[in-house]
Structures are given as structure tokens and as C-alpha cells.
Amino acid sequence: MIYQHLPNNKHIHEEAVSKKLKQLRTASEGRFVCAYRENDLAFLFLTKAQVIFHRLSKLLSSYHGNSQHKYKSLHIRNLPVHSDAPKVGA
């Protein structure tokens, strides 16, 4: 797990996490990676085994569903899977 502070601009947090995941995927030769973000903190996860990756993904998805944070997202395969942050202009 890698703990990462994100830029102060909350409107680019999802993009920043996606960039970090791309860097991690490149550096780790395509291992299984995902990330969870709340506010300005991101937690990036790297595993070798697909079984562990699927368990981790389920746990993070469950945590995401139960979290009361307003700005959060779960990133699996470099795409934000869930996001509760209001969209700009919405």
C-alpha cells in the first residue's frame, strides 16, 4: 500500500489518482493495482496475485459504500468506479 497526499484542488483528485495508478502500473510491470481516495488522501494498492486483488477490491468497495465522506472514489483498472463528489457545474 502506498499513501499519497493529493493536490489541494479537489476537482482534480480523481485525475491525480488515475495518473498515480498509471505510474504504479508502469513501475510494477502491470501488476494488479487499485486505489481508494477520500478527500485529499489516496491509498494505492499493489498485489501480485489476482485472488488477493479481488478480495481487496471487494473490501474497498464495501468500505466505500459505508463511508460517509463526501469526496471519495474507488479506482480499479485506472477508472473511477464509484464517486460521490458532486460534478462541476451540477
**34-43 confidence digits (pLDDT tens):** 999 998 999 9
Q: How far apart are alpha carbons 84 and 72 in whole angstroms?
A: 6
Residue 30 has pLDDT above 80, yes or no: no
SS3 1: coil
Per the rule left: phi > 0, alpha: psi between -120 and 50, beta: everything else, 62 is alpha
pTM given for the model: 0.79
Domain that holds residue 25: 2-83
Q: Indicate whether 74 belongs to any domain.
A: yes
Number of domains in the chain: 1
Q: Indicate whether 88 belongs to any domain.
A: no
Q: Indicate whether 89 belongs to any domain.
A: no
Q: Indicate whether 90 belongs to any domain.
A: no
Residue 89 has pLDDT above 90, yes or no: no
Q: Indicate whether 10 belongs to any domain.
A: yes
Q: Which pLDDT value is given to residue 81?
A: 52
Q: Indicate whether 18 belongs to any domain.
A: yes
Residue 46 has pLDDT above 90, yes or no: yes
